[in-house]
A and B are shown apart, each in its own frame.
Chain A
Amino acid sequence: MTLPRGYLAFGVVVLIGAAVLEYRGFTFASAQQSNGDPRSIRNNPGSYRSTYYGTRSTYGK
């Protein structure tokens, strides 16, 4: 029984792709949330930066 070559090729690509995504640690939300924050701690006085508050959600009960 000859095996379908196209499907096998597709399958190998899928497996390689899955391995790469897994080993490289990709997630679905892999888009980095980079908001132009200061480059190093020396640029970060630890006080108010509007970007720090951008991702805050308001919770409460």
Chain B
Amino acid sequence: MTGVQTSCPNCGATIEFRWAQAVQTTCEYCRSVLVRHDLDLTKVGTSTVVPLTPSPIQLGTEGRWHDRDFVVVGRLVYRWERGGWSEWHCRFSDDTSGWLSDAQADYVMSRPATPDRPLPSSDDVSPGDTFPHGGERFVLASITMASYVGTEGELPFAYAPSGLVPFADARSTAGNFATIDYSETPPLLFVGEPVELRQLELRNLRTFEGW
């Protein structure tokens, strides 16, 4: 990936982009959240120290999914009533983004999708509701009220939601996953599938003491 370099407007540290079109990144050193206008970076906030996740995935992890290589370039961390999870921003070789959801060693790789029809609003959804997409029928499994914890790395958009963000998780009988992200209006749809790490042929993973 390209090694475009610039410096952090807050602390001066060198920032090297893994992905040339990143819209937002976070300075590793001072944790300032920086939004990009070309090579100029504007500090828009500070990200909390992103908690160490148990995940073996880290920024810079490379992998392969459905015959396309990707690099993990960024991360969003959320918390909910019963724990936390991460959404790893994966940048594919065909210049598209994907999100690897990482929760308690359950992994789902999704990509943004355009809904066939308008998605229900967050007040309108409840488990058991169904909606069609891409020829499949998705059944809503759960609504999670999550709070945004922090970010690291590069994102394709400027992101700083506040308050609780509802996420609706749906599954199809074929085993595919869909998530409705209500952090924006209109809500965003992501469609993907559960994956085992070894399916993704990952390289540059974190190491664990004793493993």
Direct interface between A and B, CB < 8 A: no
